[in-house]
Amino acid sequence: YCSSDLWSGSSNESHSHGSDIFHAIFDDLKSDKRFQKAQQIIFTGFSAGGLGLLLNLPNLLQNFPSTIDLRVIIDSSWFIDYPGSINGISKINEGMAYWNTQIPSSCHLKPQYRCFLGSEAIRFFPPHVRILIIQSLLDPTQLHLDDVNLRTNDFSLQLRESLHQANERVSIFAPACSTHGFLFRSLWSQFDIKQRTLASVLNVWLRRKKRTHLRLIDHQFDSSFCPQRENDDELY
């Protein structure tokens, strides 16, 4: 959040430099001999940080040799274009001109905010990049932004369907927890779906060399364990 523009901007006028910061970091790393010898690189982004990865990585990763094991973890950033929402992901469109948002060269979608949508953005990643989506089906931040009628589960059903239809090369861990963000939580490892914990899924995903993919989605919204600790949300 430090850039205040979803890591997407490049504007002196509005002091929005998220995209510039993102790419400057990797410009510096290019001269690091240890980075040059890396065999595996893992990118992780939570919420706005995850949106920043979805937007910036497609261009950046084109410059990495395919011999490097590139992995991307997107935590709580799988937004959907929910019909009728006036405050959801489509609201980003108003900020994009102000920030001078830098859209991936491969994304020609209109309106341009759709380049932030996970279901669209992952199509622009190089094919050898492995992606893990961690996303709650009952994400309170998304429910609030989209002003969802909580008496129905229509939003969660559409979010579930969007994940289900994601590119087959994407791995997914999607519990039905009222949680925005997983990996920063002290009890992150204990979240589970049908007794398969997030820790075990992450361990298998990181260690597995073959391009097989894990998909754990709580389709019935009743098979998740969601540990809670009160002070965890204070970190967010």
| Better-scored residue on pLDDT, 143 or 224 | 224
Q: What is the pLDDT of residues 83-93, one digit of tens each?
A: 777 677 777 88
For the entire predicted model, the pTM comes to 0.92
Per domain, the residue ranges of the chain are: 29-235
Assign residue 111 a region (left: φ > 0; alpha: ψ between -120 and 50; beta: otherwise). Answer: beta
How far is residue 162 from each of residues 139, 155, 198, measured CA to CA in Å? 14, 11, 20
Q: What is the pLDDT of residues 110-155, one digit of tens each?
A: 989 999 999 999 999 999 999 999 999 999 988 887 676 666 788 8
CB count in 10 Å sphere of residue 36 = 9
* pLDDT at residue 188 tops 90: yes
DSSP track, 124-153: GS-TT-EEEEE--TT-HHHHHHTT--TTS-
* pLDDT at residue 69 tops 60: yes
Residue 65 token pair: 């040799």
Query: What does DSSP assign to residue 16?
Result: B
